[in-house]
Amino acid sequence: MQYTQLFRKLREQKGLSHEALAALARCHRNTVLNVEGGRQVKFKTMARLMGKMGYAADSSEMTSLALLWLEATSGIRLSEPATLATARRKVSTYARTTNQALTQLTETIRQAGLDEEEIRLLTFAAKHGEMLGIIESIRDLLSSSAESSAELKVAEDK
């Protein structure tokens, strides 16, 4: 079954026409038609429509629709047990790697004794690559300035 067929079936089970669902969701009737017609629609849009039909985000209907939509958009047969097992392993590996990175980051912050404001500044700099370039330039300038001062001190001592 395709997600478009499941969506139509769920809408019809609720006794809703295209127009009635569009009115509930406060969207254009074409939005509902686009979902059922298989046109490119964000999952967020379908989830909102499903919610307006009374399906909870954690319902089996929503899960089935999400799985079918992912298969259609990715081309990966997630409903096949072998494919699903591989995907779960990769997600598990990613989660482990992410947790390890978080643990390492937390330990580095603890060892550095960074306060909340310093962490906010680092976060800002990390989100804005151009800031990292400016900081590197300042660091290089300070390093070369310190080296020049040390050379002058040595020269004065002679």
DSSP summary character for residue 80: S
Same domain, 28 and 68: yes
Domain of 124?
115-158
Domain total for the chain? 3
Q: Are the C-beta atoms of residues 43 and 28 closer than 8 Å to each other?
A: no
What is the spatial distance between Cα 152 and Cα 158, in angstroms, rounded to a whole number? 10
* Domain containing residue 28: CATH number: 1.10.260.40
The confidence score (pLDDT) of residue 154 equals 53
Same domain, 25 and 59: yes
Length of the chain, please?
A: 158
**Residues in CB range of 41: below 8 A, 6 or more apart:** 31, 34, 35
Last residue of a domain, one of 24, 52, 74: 74
Same domain, 94 and 153: no
Q: What is the pTM of this model?
A: 0.55
Give the pLDDT of the chain (158 residues) as one tens digit per residue: 799 999 999 999 999 999 999 999 999 999 999 999 999 899 999 999 999 999 999 999 999 999 899 989 888 887 788 887 888 898 899 889 988 988 898 888 889 898 888 888 888 887 887 887 888 888 888 887 766 665 555 555 55
The confidence score (pLDDT) of residue 95 equals 87
The confidence score (pLDDT) of residue 150 equals 57
Same domain, 37 and 51: yes
The confidence score (pLDDT) of residue 152 equals 52
Same domain, 96 and 46: no
